[in-house]
């Protein structure tokens, strides 16, 4: 089969690799009909190379048709149209019983001290072959795959794999009071969708913050108030909009590669040049993130407010302004999205009425062989690219 494989910093290729096969009774093989390019994939493209092995298959936003099943997959059958959550969970362990599927005790990558295994996302999360491919082996297919109806285009449902539940959880964790104000940092796919969900759920004001003109325009067209980070002091602008108080909640949808930290950026660049045997332990023990977005969130949230982190962070030695956070009595809620927890809330919205605008959410639809160009354009925010869907 053809798959997108990692070969080094800013070096992804589409190559022929072996087809996956059924390995366990609870496995399924799904032929991909659509798979997404995620902002988190850019962390692999740029920063997290020490945790990758040349030839790793990338991608964690799968949708397709079941082509083969093991002997113990419940009612999942060949021919079913499914979306597959980006994390792999068993559905019946201590953590899964509490709907903390990203902490599944069956698939936890204990050797790395990490939570549930993820598709296409480094040795930290199990080195599981990813979904930017023609075929995907799905472990624990007795629980994970989400059956969706025939008829509507894949665009209607594919975001159940990551974008929709991640944005939904980001809003839930933000605990925006009825009629309250929420600021969303970063208007990439997750931030854009979080704005839509917050407005749909009744936030009084939604403020989107970014520096990319096309993303600001796109969010503004759906009623989000926007702030261009390149044209304003964000803290002052937010306080001017909120009687000097700050917003009730902030969603950080940017994460570790935020602009605004030249020292951390330099550290990332230096580590990326080191041999993996040296770089990996350095990142494990003293890794730092570029904290521009999180520091902005701390600045603009009101006293007693909530910060929700959905952007991925990977540092182990991040300096935080704890005195300010303590003094402002900030609540912080974070984590990878527990996909299946939110599916029953989201599915009723995936209708012809399309209140969240999923049918035209993608800005680019590309063939799988165009993946290297897509990664490069997405990294540099060129051509108005916000969301890419590949058609394997």
pTM of the entire predicted model: 0.91
How many Å is the Cα radius of gyration of the chain? 20
Instruction: Count CB neighbours of 320 within 10 A.
Output: 12
The token pair that represents 329 in the structure block: 């009595």
Q: What is d(CA 320, CA 341) in angstroms, rounded to the nearest whole number?
A: 30
Asked if residue 248 lies in contact with residue 241, where contact means CB atoms within 8 angstroms, the answer is: no
pLDDT for the residue 273 = 47
Q: What is d(CA 260, CA 301) in angstroms, rounded to the nearest whole number?
A: 18
Q: How far is CA 217 from the centre of its chain?
A: 22
Q: What is d(CA 153, CA 124) in angstroms, rounded to the nearest whole number?
A: 34
Q: How far is CA 367 from the centre of its chain?
A: 21
pLDDT for the residue 257 = 55
The token pair that represents 387 in the structure block: 């969301």
Domains, the chain, ranges and CATH? 2-162+338-391 (3.90.180.10), 164-334 (3.40.50.720)
Asked if residue 102 lies in contact with residue 87, where contact means CB atoms within 8 angstroms, the answer is: yes
Q: Which of helix, strand or coil describes residue 32?
A: strand
List per-block mean pLDDT (blocks of 10 residues) for the chain, which spans 392 residues. 96 98 98 95 86 96 98 98 98 98 98 96 95 98 98 98 98 96 96 98 97 95 96 94 97 69 43 48 48 92 97 72 96 96 98 97 97 94 93 94
Q: Burial of 158 by CB count in 10 Å (0-12 exposed, 13-18 middle, 19+ buried)?
A: buried
Output the CA torsion sign for 69, 71, 75, 78.
positive
């Amino acid at each position: 089969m053809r798959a997108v494989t990692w070969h080094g910093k800013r070096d992804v290729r589409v190559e022929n690799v072996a087809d996956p096969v059924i390995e366990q009774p609870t496995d399924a093989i799904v032929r991909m009909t659509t798979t997404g390019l995620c902002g988190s994939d850019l962390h692999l493209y740029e920063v997290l190379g020490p945790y990758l092995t040349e030839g790793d298959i990338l991608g964690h936003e799968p949708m397709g048709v079941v082509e083969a099943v093991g002997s113990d997959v419940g009612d999942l059958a060949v021919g079913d149209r499914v979306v597959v959550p980006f994390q792999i969970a068993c559905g019946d362990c201590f953590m899964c019983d509490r709907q903390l599927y990203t902490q599944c005790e069956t698939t936890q990558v204990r050797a790395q001290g990490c939570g549930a295994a993820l598709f296409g996302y480094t040795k930290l999360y199990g080195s599981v072959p990813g979904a930017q491919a023609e075929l995907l082996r799905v472990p624990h297919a007795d629980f994970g795959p989400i059956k969706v109806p025939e008829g509507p285009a894949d665009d209607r449902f594919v975001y159940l794999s990551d974008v929709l539940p991640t944005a939904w959880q980001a809003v839930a964790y933000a605990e925006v009071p009825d009629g309250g104000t929420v600021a969303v940092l970063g208007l990439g796919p997750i931030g854009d969708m979080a704005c839509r969900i917050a407005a749909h759920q009744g936030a009084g004001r939604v403020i989107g913050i970014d520096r990319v003109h096309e993303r600001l325009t796109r969010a503004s067209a759906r009623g989000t108030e926007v702030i261009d980070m390149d044209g304003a002091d964000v803290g002052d602008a937010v306080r001017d909009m909120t009687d000097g108080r700050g917003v009730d909640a902030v969603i950080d949808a940017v994460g570790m590669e935020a602009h605004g930290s030249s020292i951390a950026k330099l550290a990332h660049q230096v580590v990326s040049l080191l041999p993996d045997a040296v770089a990996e332990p350095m990142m494990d023990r003293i890794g730092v993130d570029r904290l521009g977005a999180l520091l902005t969130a701390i600045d603009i949230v009101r006293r007693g407010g909530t910060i929700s982190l959905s952007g991925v962070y990977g540092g182990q030695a991040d300096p935080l302004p704890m005195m300010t956070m303590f003094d402002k009595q900030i609540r912080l809620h974070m984590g990878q999205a527990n996909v299946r927890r939110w599916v029953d809330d989201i599915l009723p919205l995936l209708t012809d009425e399309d209140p969240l605008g999923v049918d035209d959410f993608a800005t680019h639809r590309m063939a799988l062989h165009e993946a290297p160009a897509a990664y490069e354009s997405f990294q540099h925010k060129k051509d108005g690219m916000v969301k890419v869907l590949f058609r394997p």
